[in-house]
């Protein structure tokens, strides 16, 4: 029987996943896979990760009944899983601490990764400081210039930020940063572990990052049973690479009564290439970042340009498990536009006193629509993946404040 919850032994979720690597990366990645499989079986490793999540991150995060937001939607009860209240302000710290602990266990001195807008870089730099490892973050030169506060945060946390692609036409962005970080890893894997930022990349990363995130859904299930005495009717989460979504979904994948929705960025216009990042909705089979998955690509197979109001969702690929869950029909993928996302942002500020990340607002936007179609006794859980302090300058400009 196929499992919705994990890959087969070769890292495949149906046709998706696997390891598509240049020869020089095969050995380093295989080593990470072996070390992770062993670590999972070691109760001391798991206990140390859980201890840091409790004492350092502040878990469990609350599951909060957003009563006024629910009234505003005019239907089902909306609960928010408050990942925005974690140390560093988002869900990414959950897997970054797991990856840093694994690197330390493997005897490595350093973790290395790419970052787009800098959110993963900051979370990884935090985890590296905590665990006592060096940290090297590769970042597109354009992003370094645009995301100055995150660059400063990483530097304060002791990380080395490497700008990439200054000489590339159009300047360097996420793709160049990934290639550059993988290059250093291939050369220097004796001392270094690659620490990916979502449920993407070659096996074992999609399984590993999902395992580290699935604490979100385990807590949410326990919390909703305590609040309501029953399972929710629906789950909603935003999908970029897909880690916060699988974090919430995994524990519920075998509960048939729970409808599950992933929400992708429709951006400015779903009908124009380059104006959205709805990979699952419009992507086709391809290989990106070492995995077989759905990819937004042009005819030559190059990743298409993407856009979202939320830079954390700006990615032309998606975790292979999501491609599989879509194919199997277990998860329904919807979209929210930039405009709907901004409305959801305003609603959460106004009705609940919460300034949310624009990424998370994609999920809130769809949940508001869904709630309106459901009776008042129905229950929706939304993963509020992060806080919005990082977004206020951008939002102020959009709203003319």
Give the interface with ligand PLP as residue ranges (CB under 6 A): 90, 92, 119, 198, 238-245, 312-313, 357, 359-360, 385-386
Host H or E run for residue 138: strand 134-140
Give me the least distance between CB of 69 and ligand PLP, in Å please: 18
DSSP class per residue in 307-363: --SSGGG--S---HHHHHHHHHTSSEEEEEEHHHHHHHHHHHHHHHS--B-HHHHHH
Cβ closer to ligand PLP: 263 or 374? 263
Placement of tokens 């629509």 in the chain: 369
CA–CA dist 310, 319 (Å, integer) = 18
Cβ closer to ligand PLP: 163 or 386? 386
Cβ closer to ligand PLP: 63 or 186? 63
Cβ closer to ligand PLP: 75 or 386? 386
| CA distances in angstroms from 369 to 150, 335, 387, listed in the order given | 33, 11, 22
201 contacts: CB under 8 Å, gap ≥ 6: 289, 290, 291
Instruction: Answer yes or no: are the C-beta atoms of 381 and 232 closer than 8 Å.
Output: yes
Placement of tokens 């800098």 in the chain: 118
Other CB atoms within 10 A of residue 42 CB: 11
| Helices 174-187, 23-40: crossing angle, 10 deg rounding | 80
Cβ closer to ligand PLP: 192 or 244? 244
CA–CA dist 325, 315 (Å, integer) = 19
**Structure token pair of residue 113:** 């990764």
Strand 12-13 with 192-194, pairing: unpaired
187 contacts: CB under 8 Å, gap ≥ 6: none
CA–CA dist 342, 391 (Å, integer) = 11
Per DSSP, 303 falls in state B
Instruction: Answer yes or no: are the C-beta atoms of 99 and 180 closer than 8 Å.
Output: no
Catalytic residues: 92, 114, 385
Cβ closer to ligand PLP: 104 or 334? 334
Give me the least distance between CB of 25 and ligand PLP, in Å please: 22
Give me the least distance between CB of 248 and ligand PLP, in Å please: 10
Give me the least distance between CB of 386 and ligand PLP, in Å please: 2
Give me the least distance between CB of 187 and ligand PLP, in Å please: 27
**Closest of 381, 362, 91 to residue 260, by C-alpha:** 381
Give me the least distance between CB of 209 and ligand PLP, in Å please: 8
CA–CA dist 192, 93 (Å, integer) = 19
Give me the least distance between CB of 20 and ligand PLP, in Å please: 20
Cβ closer to ligand PLP: 198 or 223? 198
């Amino acid at each position: 029987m196929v499992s919705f919850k994990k890959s087969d032994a070769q890292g495949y979720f149906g046709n998706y996943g696997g390891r598509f690597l240049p020869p020089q990366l095969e050995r380093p990645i295989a080593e990470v896979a072996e070390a992770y499989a062993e670590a999972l079986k070691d109760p001391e490793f798991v206990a140390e990760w859980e201890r840091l999540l409790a004492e350092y991150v502040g878990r469990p995060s609350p599951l909060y009944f957003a009563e006024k937001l629910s009234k505003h939607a005019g239907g089902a009860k909306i609960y928010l899983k408050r990942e925005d209240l974690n140390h560093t302000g988002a869900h990414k710290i959950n897997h970054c601490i797991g990856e840093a602990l694994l690197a330390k266990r493997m005897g490595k001195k350093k973790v290395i990764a790419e970052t787009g807008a800098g959110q993963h870089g900051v979370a990884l730099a935090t985890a590296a400081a905590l665990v006592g490892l060096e940290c090297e973050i590769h970042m597109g030169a354009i992003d370094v210039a645009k995301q100055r506060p995150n660059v400063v945060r990483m530097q304060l946390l002791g990380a080395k930020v490497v700008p990439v692609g200054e000489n590339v036409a159009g300047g360097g962005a996420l793709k160049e940063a990934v290639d550059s970080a993988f290059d250093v890893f291939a050369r220097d894997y004796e001392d270094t572990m690659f620490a990916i930022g979502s449920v993407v990349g070659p096996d074992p990363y999609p399984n590993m990052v999902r395992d580290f995130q699935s604490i979100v859904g385990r807590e949410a299930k326990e919390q909703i049973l305590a609040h309501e005495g029953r399972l929710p009717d629906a789950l909603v989460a935003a999908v970029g690479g897909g880690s916060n979504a699988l974090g919430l979904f995994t524990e519920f994948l075998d509960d048939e009564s729970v409808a599950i929705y992933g929400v992708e960025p429709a951006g400015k216009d779903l009908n124009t290439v380059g104006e959205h990042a709805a990979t699952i909705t419009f992507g086709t089979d391809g290989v990106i970042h070492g995995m077989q998955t759905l990819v937004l690509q042009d005819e030559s197979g190059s990743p298409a340009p993407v856009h979202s109001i939320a830079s954390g969702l700006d990615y032309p690929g998606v975790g292979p498990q999501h491609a599989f869950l879509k194919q199997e029909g277990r998860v329904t993928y919807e979209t929210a536009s930039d405009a709907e996302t901004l409305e959801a942002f305003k609603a959460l500020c106004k009705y609940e006193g919460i300034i949310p990340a624009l990424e998370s607002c994609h999920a809130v936007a769809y949940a508001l629509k869904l709630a309106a179609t459901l009776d008042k006794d129905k229950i929706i859980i939304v993963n509020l993946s992060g806080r919005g302090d990082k977004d206020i300058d951008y939002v102020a400009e959009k709203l003319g404040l």
